[in-house]
Structures are given as C-alpha cells and as structure tokens.
Amino acid sequence: MPILARLACAAISGLLLYLSFEPHGIWLAGIASFTLLYAALRPWTRPVNHRLGVGGGLLVGATHALCAYALLLPWVGEFVGAEPYIALAVVNTLYILLFASIAPRLGPVAFSLWYVAVEWLHSTWPFGGFAWVRVAWGQINGPLSALAPVGGPALISAATVGIGASLAAVVMHARRSGVLTLATIAAVVLAGTLYSSSLHNTKPIGEVTVAAVQGNVPRMGLDFNAQREAVLNNHVAETERIDQDVDIVVWPENASDVNPFANAHARDRIDRAAEQVNAPILVGTITRDAAGPRNTMVVFNEDGTVGEHHHKKYLQPFGEYMPYRDFFRHFSDYVDMAGNFVPGAGSGVVHMDGIAVGVSTCYEVAFDQAGRDAIAAGAEILTTPTNNATFGFTDMTYQQLAMSRLRAKELDRAVVVAATSGVSALVNPRGEVLEQTEIFTHDHLVDTLPLRNSRTIAADHGGQIEAGLTIMGVLAAAACIVRGRRARRQPREEAPSHPHGADASTNNGK
C-alpha cells in the first residue's frame, strides 16, 4: 500500500475513534478505527517481504493519534486557549508512537495486547497518567461493554482492538489467524454477556430514593471560584425545590467552594437545606487540614451534624495541582491558576442514612482503582459528583458520563452523577441512563435505585487481568524486537560457486 494511502487510512481511523466516544457514541466506529489502523501499519503482501519501516510506522501512528486527540480534547482549552490543548494532544500522541514503532510486525492478537500494554502506561504515567482517552469508553453503547464486569476497561480495549485488527487480517493475508481470533473474542463476549445477565438477575439488597441536584453557575469560565456564594445559593435553592420524600441527596463537586467549616453563613445554608429536605446531603466543598487544601465531599445530616467525608485521591495534574510549577511557568502564565490541592487516602466510601455510598469525584471516575476500592469497602451505590462548568458546552461532560455508565456495568452498582452545570444523570447497574438533565440549567433528578452487594470479577481481579494482558503485550513486543535483531544479524547465504573459482576453470581450459 502506498504511504499516502496508509496515511489516509490512519487519518480516517483517528476520526472513527473519536466518533466512538460520546456524545456521538458510535461503538462500531471504534472497531472500524482499528481495522483501518492495522491495515495502515501492516504489509499487504504474503509472504511479507515489504514491511513498513519504523519511520513509516511512526508517521502512520502520529497521523492516527493527532486526528483522534485533536477532536477528543478541545475541552481542555475551552477557556485557557489552544496551547494547553495542543500540548496535551501531542503528549498523548507520544504513546501511540511507542505503539506504532513495533505494531507493523505484530499479528492481530499481539497487536491488540501490545495496544493494551501501551494504554496501561498511558493511563498510569506520568502524574497518574491520562486514562481519559482509553478505547473502552467508546464501547459503552455496544455489546463489548458486557466485558466490563469481567475484566473492566482493559479487557474491552483488548477486544475492540483485537476485532478490528482481525477483520483487517482476514481481508489482507492472514485469514486463518484472523478468523480464529474473532471466534475467540466472540466466545469471550458471549461468556461476558451471560455473566452480566446473571448479575442483573440477582435481587438487590434494598433500594434508596436519591436526589441529584444541579444548581448551575451564574456564568461559564475560569472565574468559577469567584462565583462561590452564588453557586452555593443555587444548590440550596434547587434542593429546596425537591417536593418528594428522598433518602439521600447528592450535590456536585465544588457546590460549596465556600468552606462551611470556616464560614458560618455557608454552614447555616447547608444545614437548613438538609433540614428542609429531611435527608443527608453529600456536599462538594473545599476544606483545609494540616496537610493543606482538600477537594472534599462531606456528609451533612438533617439533624445538623456532620458525617463522613471523602478527600479526592486522584487529582487532576495542571488543574488541581501543578507539577514542576516553576518550570512550566516559563511556557505559560496559566500555571499559576492551577491549585495546590493535596490528595486524600481514604476508602472512597461515606455512609448516608446507613447506606454505604462510593464516591469518585469528577476526574477519579477515569481511574479503575477508585471504584474498586469503594466496592472493597462495601459500597452499595456509587456517585460521581463533578464540576464541569469550566469546560463550557464541550464534549467533556458527555465523555465523563460514559465513564460513569461503564463503571455501573463493571461494578454492578447504580451510579448517581451530580454536576454543577450538567450533565447530571441517574444510571442503573446495567449502565442505562434513567434520567438526565440538560447542560447549563438548574434542575434536580429523583428516582429509586437498587442497592447491591455483589462482587464482580473485575471488582476483585480487574487489576490482575489488566496486568496479565499488559505483560503478554510487552512479551509479544519484546519477542518481535528479538526476532528482528536476529534476522539482521543472520549472514546472507553466498551464491554457490565452482570449488576452484571461475578463474580456475578458465585456466584448466588453456
């Protein structure tokens, strides 16, 4: 395949990957993306005498990644300009370059495992990684999401890439291995579907009537913190509009950026709201202790007492804290707008009216361990309180909702999404949205959700499954590198010649 055709396939594959994510949610586009990417990276002749070189692979990988991430991540620069957004897209592309440097020599199975290995690195390093762009999030509307309770996002990513690569292999030159891989993945997906159905057929241990409150903000932008009092008042007012009996109320992250433990007026407003709704409220606020400022979700009970709290553990770098602030200040003054928050270290569970509530605050929902820790600590329902006001009318809030939906399926729990400005939603354990709000409106949602105490395979062993897939991917890549080096070192066979040489035969004839 000519290089221009390969680059065209790579560009389209990046576009298709983007379309698999919400708000588009075209899950088939995610599979098609890797069909084209495999075709762009692999040789089209058999025997494979003309592989794509390392330079060509890097060029194809960069084209794919930049087309995908340029479309997925504009929300990063909504109010801070193009530079941080472009920088993040470029940094994310570096991981795909690592993948593409070896991928041209890998068959469909090794191709998918190596992708999962690189995605693991991408999601963990540096600064905790950037798990926002994992392939699995684009499969929430498709059948591969049935793998969530089996192996979590890692297994879904492996299946997505594996199916795409296998379809390309069938068309190109490896029909037998492609069909075998497809059959294997189909069997795994069928098993995952049956397992998911068995989870849903179990009876819940109870139910809870939940209200998710979306108070909205007076205006969009990075001056959100300057609107603290108004945002608190909005959430109090919206809570007072609840005219149904509820058991618990969930407010968003930063619903009260006025610290109620340092501001008596803010504390009084929250206490009155809890008293009026006659239910405990999980409130997002800013607290401070000996370690420093915390992004905190804290329970305020209807009797005026304060319950348990969750200090956010997985903080957003370059937002909630600034790594190497002095260094990055040379490139942008925006670094001084980043916070100095300190991460927490709790279980991720608070108790409200005797119910164990798991909390993944905003960015935390992208991290596997946040939800798994909560389940291990006995969470019967999950919440994702979030503040998306600083990202305007972008795709960000819809991408995040897809993550909450996948966590519902992975962990077999209902999820309450409460956002300052939307989208807020109530999600059942099947990952289905029961109700959701419009963006940048004030609203509240009320529904009765199941409480569950099941433990999925992913909740207990998802980390080990991801580690296994990653190790196999690294070993496959390492084996490929070793084979390549051996092939280059192997001496070329010399052409056969007369034992005495051509000159000897001439001399004998004289």
Closest CA to 216 of 11, 441, 29: 441
- Give the up-direction half-sphere exposure of residue 86: CA atoms within 13 A in the CB hemisphere: 3
Which pLDDT score is estimated for 495? 45
Q: Which of 9, 119, 238, 312 is catalytic?
A: 312
DSSP codes of every residue in 340-353 = B-----S-SEEEET
The position carrying tokens 């089996």 is: 150
Closest CA to 21 of 408, 388, 422, 405: 405
Kindly tell me the burial class for residue 126, based on how many C-beta atoms sit within 10 Å of its own C-beta (0-12, 13-18, 19 or more): exposed
Question: Catalytic: 253?
Answer: yes
Low-confidence ranges of the chain (pLDDT < 50): 49, 222, 493-495, 498-510
Q: How many Å apart are CA 85 and CA 43, to the nearest integer?
A: 34
Q: How many Å apart are CA 299 and CA 256, to the nearest integer?
A: 13
Residues 450, 428: contact at Cβ < 8 Å? yes
- Give the up-direction half-sphere exposure of residue 260: CA atoms within 13 A in the CB hemisphere: 25
Query: What strands lie across the sheet with 306-311, from one edge to the other?
Result: 306-311, 292-300, 281-289, 248-250, 206-214, 443-451
Convert the pLDDT of each residue in 451-507 to its tens digit: 999 999 999 999 999 999 999 999 999 999 998 888 777 755 444 554 444 444 444
Q: Which of 238, 253, 364, 380 is catalytic?
A: 253
Residues 215, 255: contact at Cβ < 8 Å? yes
Which is it for the CA torsion 275, 280, 282, 288, positive or negative? positive
Which pLDDT score is estimated for 221? 53
Which pLDDT score is estimated for 359? 98
Would you call 452 helix, strand, or coil by DSSP? coil
Domain positions in the chain = 3-200+460-489, 206-453
Question: Catalytic: 362?
Answer: yes
Would you call 393 helix, strand, or coil by DSSP? coil
Measure the CA angle with vertex 46, ends 44 and 47; round to 5°: 130
Which pLDDT score is estimated for 502? 42
Decide if domain 206-453 falls under CATH 3.40.50.300: no
Read off the pTM.
0.92
Which pLDDT score is estimated for 77? 86
| 288: number of Cβ within 10 Å | 13
Q: Which of 9, 22, 313, 362 is catalytic?
A: 362
The position carrying tokens 């300190």 is: 342
Q: How many Å apart are CA 92 and CA 85, to the nearest integer?
A: 11
206-223: buried (b, 16+ CB within 10 Å) or exposed (e) per residue?
eebebbbbbbbbeebeee
- What single letter denotes the amino acid at residue 6? R
Would you call 100 helix, strand, or coil by DSSP? helix
Question: Catalytic: 510?
Answer: no
Q: How many Å apart are CA 155 and CA 141, to the nearest integer?
A: 16
